[in-house]
Amino acid sequence: MEQTAAERLRAMGIALPAASEPAARYANCVRMNNLLFVSGKGPAGHPKGKLGADYTTAEGYRFARLAGIEILAVLQSALGSLDDVRRVVKLQGFVNATAHFEEHHRVLNGCSDLMLDVFGEKGVHARSVLGAVSLRDDLPVIIDSIFEIRMQPDR
């Protein structure tokens, strides 16, 4: 029998935090039929700074992974179970970086790898990553995401 997402998280030593609250007047996520759009999430602990100046690519990878954990916490809160995720559809990352930083894709791998580890084949997704001159609260990375979820008539 295939492991559940919760079992995979436990095996990785990850305990999901409570879903963080939106930073302004918007929803953590919006459901449209069988798609769940998760608002941009940054890494827990709110590190501040730029990739290429304040942080290395390896540190950015870790920040993207932490942002992924925040995304999973929102999913858990919205759905009740990560097993209601049928597919990770898309990740879009924004990397707060210097003009000469060129490893945005390696930074976003932190979140992509987490999704693959948690969801297996359902974690394969489309993605885009953009460099940004600044991000809210000077976060090093923010990731928004789209998920296909199981249809449930009572939700």
Mind listing the pLDDT tens digit for each residue in 55-98?
A: 999 999 999 999 999 999 999 999 999 999 999 999 999 999 99
Confidence tier at 154 by pLDDT (50, 70, 90): low
Tell me the two tokens of residue 11: 């095996």
Tell me the two tokens of residue 20: 């963080």
Q: List pLDDT tens digits, range 4-58.
A: 999 999 999 999 999 998 888 999 999 999 999 999 999 999 899 999 999 999 9
* Domain 5-17+26-149 CATH class label: alpha beta
CA–CA dist 127, 136 (Å, integer): 21
pLDDT at 155: 45
